[in-house]
Structure 1
Amino acid sequence: MPEISHEELLARIGRAYYLDNQSKVEISNEHGISRFQVARFLDEARARGIVHIEIRTPGRAAAIDTEALAAALGIRRIVVVATVGDDFQQRDLQAHAVADELMREARTGMTVGISWSRTLDLAARHVPELPKCNIVQLAGALPVPGGGNPLELIQRLGRVGGGRTWPMWAPLVVDSAATATGLRRQPEIADAMRKADSLDLAVVAIGAWAPNLSTVWDRVDNAVRRDGVDKGAVAECSGRLLAGDGTAVVAELDARILSVTVEQLQRTPKVIAVAQGAVRADAVRACIAAGIVHTLVMDESLAMALQEFSAGHGVSA
């Protein structure tokens, strides 16, 4: 048999498991790999969008009035997807919605900035076409298990749209402020960071400044985490920390980050933000207060938490 690509192998394994109901043992025997590799390849296929699983929960989304909630929160648009039990499925559902919003908002000649998260990495894979626009990487690399990397994301969107790209050839977090300052002087990095001054559209992910709710939190040491908490941080967006009232937190982390600034996002006319889970409700409200969210893509559990908060504080939603 002719040799197949890794992507084709992922598709075949996904088809055998999900459509043909073959067991992992049967698939491992057929392909000459271990059943543990089969499990890992199935996870990878879902994370990369090669396998897409959609589960709809009838009736639940009807309880959320997205227009009223958007008005209560003071933003332009809300998109709500179902809350499902599987983390890969959840990210994929939200990634599809983010991709749809990006294609909906992008226009020829725009400068579009996109940060990085596992959801945004998936979203880029679900964008089949874009008008010709410039694509700017808004945050340095922060590799995580089950995810791609920002450079691949930017290159993928650049190929789809056919415009110029401004990659940021740097990590998101470095070990010292001096290292970050030196990297910011590098011409390619400086160009990308300057290009973020003139964004027409940005796409970002919102994390909470707490364990397991921010990929940045999980990659820095306890001293950096504590410093952010002590200074009132509740939200993290592209490595930038925000307090509950939306003010930028100037913490030790801020000097070690290579990414778009809060001020640059505040000047961007349209920002699409994605967040997941009721536990990120405070973080989402902080980012909205900061003025860096115009369209919010989220799951039902987060939407319900925001709706209940608005109702409890006398705001109709």
Structure 2
Amino acid sequence: MEIARTYGISRFQVARYLEEARALGIVRIDVRFPAAATGLEPERLAAALGVAHVRVSPTGPDEHATRKAMAKGAAEELMAASFSGATLGVSWSRTLDLAAGYVTDLPPCGIVQLAGALPVPGSGNSLELIQGLGRHDGVATWPLWAPLVVENAATAQSLRRQPEIAETLARADSLDAAVVAVGAWQPGLSTVWDRVDNRLRLAAARAGAVAECSGRLVDAAGNPVDSELDERVLAVTVAQLQHTPRVVAVAQGAARADAVRAVLAAGFVTTLLVDEELAAALSGDAAQ
């Protein structure tokens, strides 16, 4: 309202301009909690959020320390979800990339790569993550030999017809458990955001995109967003995750609170792994 008065325009115009500015990365709204969340009760938070389990990881002095602690938690969740003969799906994020190094033991099982490769400077990629997990005795892997985001829908359709890629994507129909990461559809909060142009970013935001999970966009109500990006992504679908009995979702930072709520609304998350900062944000929202 103050901006509207200053510039002599309506507050609805201001809201529209802010939406566009956020989608283009010009404006970022980021709520930070000055101290670590203490006294959080994961069980109470889980009940408030409507998810079976919440696991809270310490927020460290810097982003790397926080990510390292979360990676250890993600590795423990993956090992806990595994059993002999299981089919496990693993997506990719910088946290999950680190988590693979903390997986100390896996029974004979299958590991399915849930998202195509998305190289990030200073980090590994989903192919390397799956290959690392495949070094455990008795573990079979189904890699996804394709990028996560391709140039256009026709290229994606062609790749999906390749036998190796088709088999891996089909394996996601019958997962026993999966571990995925949650990003927010904002600059700096999703690795996919940087792989597409401003036109697509803005179009997806206007279509309601709030969260990104394995390249799939979700709106605030938990519905998949119909956008050009969805046609260009090679990854597990929201529907496949909704048919998976056990899904661990990993997210970090208070700025991803809206994205986490959106993914929870989609109904496929059974365990939520978050850091203290994000847990405090979600706890405050749940109390309102």
Question: TM-score interval w.r.t. the shorter chain?
Answer: 0.7 to 0.9
SS in 1 for 2:210: strand
Matches within 5 A, 1:260-279: 260-279=236-255
Q: Which residue of 1 aligns with 2:59?
A: 83
Matches within 5 A, 1:64-143: 64-143=40-119
SS in 2 for 1:85: coil
Q: 1:60 to 1:222 in 2, by over 3 A?
A: closer
CA RMSD between the two structures: 1.1
Post-superposition offset of 1:85? 3.2
Q: Calculate the TM-score normalised by the size of structure 1.
A: 0.78
Post-superposition offset of 1:225? 0.3
Cα-to-partner distance string for 1:210-235 (whole Å, 9 max, x where unaligned): 01000000111001101110100000
Distance of 1:153 and 1:160 partners within structure 2: 12
1:292 aligned onto 2:268: yes
Is contact 1:61–1:80 with CA below 8 Å preserved after alignment?
no
Is contact 1:111–1:136 with CA below 8 Å preserved after alignment?
yes
SS in 2 for 1:92: helix
Distance of 2:36 and 2:259 partners within structure 1: 24
Structure with greater contact order relative to length (CA < 8 Å, sep ≥ 6) = 2
Contiguous gaps of at least 5 residues in structure 1 = 1-58, 313-317
1:231 aligned onto 2:207: yes
Post-superposition offset of 1:61? 5.0
1:184 aligned onto 2:160: yes
Is contact 1:133–1:161 with CA below 8 Å preserved after alignment?
no
Post-superposition offset of 1:203? 0.5
State the percentage of identical aligned residues: 61
Matches within 5 A, 1:1-317: 60-312=36-288
Distance of 2:114 and 2:236 partners within structure 1: 5
Post-superposition offset of 1:152? 1.4
Contiguous gaps of at least 5 residues in structure 2 = 1-34
Q: 1:67 to 1:138 in 2, by over 3 A?
A: same
Give the counterpart letter for 1:70 in structure 2: A
Post-superposition offset of 1:163? 2.1
SS in 2 for 1:204: strand
Q: 1:183 to 1:276 in 2, by over 3 A?
A: same
Q: 1:161 to 1:278 in 2, by over 3 A?
A: farther
Is contact 1:273–1:293 with CA below 8 Å preserved after alignment?
yes
Q: 1:161 to 1:283 in 2, by over 3 A?
A: farther
Is contact 1:112–1:133 with CA below 8 Å preserved after alignment?
yes
Post-superposition offset of 1:60? 4.8
SS in 2 for 1:285: helix
Q: Which residue of 2 aligns with 1:12?
A: none
Distance of 1:303 and 1:61 partners within structure 2: 7
Give the counterpart letter for 1:82 in structure 2: P
Structure 1 residue runs of 4 or more that deviate by more than 2 Å after TM superposition: 59-62
Distance of 1:116 and 1:133 partners within structure 2: 19
